[in-house]
Amino acid sequence: MAEVTFTNELFHSDELIVVPILQELQENVLNANSKDSNEKKEEKVKILTNLDEVSQKKYQGNQLIASLNEWAEPIGFKLVFSEGKKKLNEGYKRVIRCNNKECCFQMIFMAPHSQKDQNYEPIDQILQYELKEYCNEHNHPLNYKAKSQFSKQILDEIDLLKGQIKTLVDLQNVINTKFGTNFTYAQIQYQVNHLLEQNFGHPTEDATNFVEEMRKDVAQNDGHFSFELGDDGKLEKALFISAAMLM
Ligand SMILES: [Zn+2]
C-alpha cells in the first residue's frame, strides 16, 4: 500500500482508499472556531441561577412546568420541556430546559413510583417531582418578559374568588375575561394551591389543621384526600385531589 498524493501516480489496478484529509482539516478548523466563539460567549455572559427554592420543593406532575415558570419568569427566563415523560426503573423523568436554545440551563426531575406497580400508570396529579440534576448556568442576559404575569390585583381577585367559584375552569374564564389575560388552567391551579398553602400553613408546620381542612373540603365538595402517619404519629404523606382536578 502506498500513499498517493498526485493523480499521475495512480494505476488502473490500484485499489483506492480515499482518506478525506481536507474534510478532517476543515472540521478541525471549524471545531477550533466554534470553541473560540463559545469561549467568547462564556466570557461575555455567564449567569448562575440559585436553585435552593426549587430543590426544596416537590412538584405535582400536572403543575410542574407552570410552577417552575412562576418561579423562573420573575427572574427573567422561561422554561420548557425538552423531551417527553420517560418511565425508568426508579420513577418518571422529566427534563426541563431554558427556552433559549443556545443555553445549557437544564433541570432533571424525577418522580418516584412503586416498583411493585410496574403496570400501573399513575395520573400526573399524583406524581411528585423532585430536582435531581441540573446545569444552572445561563449564557445570555435574563430578560424574558412574561406575557401573562400575575399582578397583586389579579392574585387578590383569585384569593377572593377561589372559594366562591365552583371549578378552576370557571375561575380561569372569570380572571382572563376580567383582566384581559391568557392564563392557562395550570397557572390558575398553581396560584390557587399556592394561596391555599399560604392560608392553611405548610402541612408539616400545621399538619392537624391541614388534615382537617382537607377532610372538610372533600366532605363538602367531593374529591379525594388520604394521608399516612409515620411511626411517631407525624404526618408523612398526604394526597389531596380536589373535585375540580378530577373533572
Ligand atoms: Zn438560559
Ligand 1 centroid to Cα of residue 4, in Å, is 50
| Residue 42 domain-assigned (yes or no) | no
Confirm whether 3 is domain-assigned: no
The reply to whether 164 and 239 lie within a common domain is yes
On whether residue 8 sits in a domain, the answer given is: no
How many other β-carbons are positioned within 10 Å of the β-carbon of residue 51? 13
Task: Give distance in angstroms: CA of 140 to centre of ligand 1.
Answer: 6
DSSP secondary structure letters along the chain: -----SGGG--TTPPP----HHHHHHHHHHHHHHHHHHHHHHHH--EE---HHHHT--EEGGGHHHHHHHHHHHHT--EEESS--EEETTEEEEEEEESSTT---EEEEEE---GGGTT----GGG-EEEEEEEE-EESS------SS---HHHHHHHHHHTTTSS-HHHHHHHHHHHHT----HHHHHHHHHHHHHHHH--TTTSHHHHHHHHHHHHHHH-EEEEEEE-TTS-EEEEEEEEHHHH-
Residues 165-187 pLDDT 10s: 888 899 999 998 888 888 888 88
117: pLDDT strictly greater than 70:
no
85 alpha carbon – ligand 1 mean position (Å):
21
Question: Band of the pLDDT at 16, cuts 50, 70, 90?
Answer: low
User: Distance between CA 136 and CA 1 in Å, rounded?
Assistant: 53
Based on the domain organization, do 221 and 177 belong to the same domain? yes
Report if residue 16 sits inside a domain.
no
From residue 109, give the alpha-carbon distance in Å to each of 91, 136, 151.
10, 14, 29
What average pLDDT score do residues 109-114 get?
A: 88
126 and 156 in a single domain? The answer is no
> In angstroms, what is the span from residue 34 Cα to ligand 1's centroid?
19
Question: 159 and 109, same structural domain?
Answer: no
214 CA to middle of ligand 1, Å?
Answer: 38
CA distance 127 to 121: 10
Residue 41 has pLDDT above 50, yes or no: no
Res 21: pLDDT: 47
Residue that finishes a domain, picked among 92, 108, 138: 138
Higher pLDDT, 226 or 166: 166
How far does the centroid of ligand 1 lie from the alpha carbon of residue 17, in Å? 46
Of 33-37, 87-91, 181-185, the least confident = 33-37
Q: Do 133 and 102 reside in the same domain of the chain?
A: yes
Q: If you measure from the C-alpha of residue 129 to the centroid of ligand 1, how many angstroms do you get, rounded to a whole number?
A: 21
- In terms of domains, do 164 and 92 share one? no
The Å distance, Cα 232 to ligand 1 centre, comes to 44
Cα dihedral 135, 138, 142, 148, rounded to 10, equals -40
What is the domain extent for residue 225? 152-246
Same domain, 163 and 211: yes
Is 132 found in the same domain as 161? no
Whether 99 and 126 map to the same domain: the answer is yes
Q: Are 230 and 236 in contact (CB under 8 A)?
A: yes
Whether 199 and 125 map to the same domain: the answer is: no
Integer Rg of the chain from CA? 27
Which pLDDT does position 96 carry in this prediction? 97
Place of cell 478541525: 28
Distance (angstroms) between ligand 1 centre and the Cα of 53 equals: 18
Distance 68 CA to ligand 1 centre (A): 14
- In this structure, the answer to whether residues 117 and 58 fall within a common structural domain is yes
In a domain? residue 7: no
Cell of 172: 380561569
Residue 11 located in a structural domain: no
Q: Is the pLDDT of residue 208 over 80?
A: no
At 58 the pLDDT is 94
Instruction: State the distance from the centre of ligand 1 to the C-alpha of 44, rounded, in angstroms.
Output: 14
46 CA from centroid of ligand 1 (Å): 10
CA of 142 to the centre of ligand 1 (A): 7
Residue 239 lies in a domain: yes
Residue 18 lies in a domain: no
> 111, 138, 165: which is the final residue of a domain?
138
* Gap from CA of 36 to ligand 1 centroid (Å): 20
Q: Where is the domain boundary, 88, 112, 138?
A: 138
- Answering whether pTM is above 0.75, one says no
Q: Are residues 52 and 82 in the same domain?
A: yes
User: How many domains would you assign to the chain?
Assistant: 2
- Cα of 76 from ligand 1 centre, angstroms: 9
